[in-house]
């Protein structure tokens, strides 16, 4: 682990290769202008925080005003993707918040599958945020009584 990993513990100032691949696959579902906006955003300084065994990854821009914003609802799901490697599958949702690329939400721990060769399949394009991942994580942390069905 490098010094920045020690200092930041659960995050870094760059995207991992698999995160780049997933974001690129998601933004290819957008029109070319929106794709360029997100690429410009990611050229600005940011910090990515990774929590819950890399399942919830949030991108924070230091000076978001330096990058253009998407014209989308306040919370927007760019795409839901599936990583596949052999028989293993992990779904991930790529989201924006207030016009900026903001989150990668994995439905299961992605760390094992991303160490192998994997393919990416687009499951869903666009839409408003759902909280199914947040609910699942809250159930893990607090039990079923926290979010009864």
So what's the pLDDT on residue 139? 60
Q: What is the pLDDT of residue 62?
A: 92
For residues 125 and 26, is the Cβ–Cβ distance under 8 A?
A: no
For the segment 84-88, the average pLDDT, to the nearest whole number, is: 93
**pTM for this entry:** 0.80
pLDDT in tens, 27-60: 999 999 999 999 999 999 999 999 888 889 999 9
pLDDT computed for residue 53 by the predictor: 85
Q: Is the pLDDT of residue 125 over 70?
A: yes
Query: C-alpha dihedral over 4, 21, 99, 92, to 10 degrees?
Result: -100
pLDDT value of residue 3: 45
Give yes or no for residue 112 having a pLDDT over 50. yes
Distance CA(82)–CA(80), nearest Å, equals: 7
How many CA atoms lie within 13 Å of 18's alpha carbon, on the beta-carbon side?
Answer: 21
How many CB atoms sit inside 10 A of residue 143's CB? 9
**Secondary structure, 3-state, 47-102:** EEEEECCCCEEEEEECCHHHCCCCCCCCEEEEEEEEEEECCEEEEEEEEEECCEEE
CB-CB contact of 70 with 37 (8 Å): yes
């Amino acid at each position: 682990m490098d010094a920045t990993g020690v200092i930041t513990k659960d995050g870094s100032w760059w995207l991992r290769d698999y995160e780049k691949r997933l974001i690129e696959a998601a933004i290819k579902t957008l029109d070319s202008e929106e794709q360029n906006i997100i690429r410009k955003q990611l050229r600005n300084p940011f910090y990515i925080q990774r929590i819950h065994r890399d399942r919830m990854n949030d991108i924070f821009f230091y000076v978001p005003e330096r990058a253009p914003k998407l014209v989308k609802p306040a919370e927007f799901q760019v795409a839901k993707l599936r990583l596949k490697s052999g028989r293993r599958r992990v779904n991930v949702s790529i989201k924006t918040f207030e016009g900026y690329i903001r989150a990668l939400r994995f439905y299961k721990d992605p760390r094992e599958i991303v160490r192998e060769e994997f393919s990416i399949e687009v499951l869903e394009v666009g839409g408003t945020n759902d909280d199914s991942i947040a609910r699942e994580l809250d159930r893990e942390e607090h039990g079923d009584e926290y979010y009864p069905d």
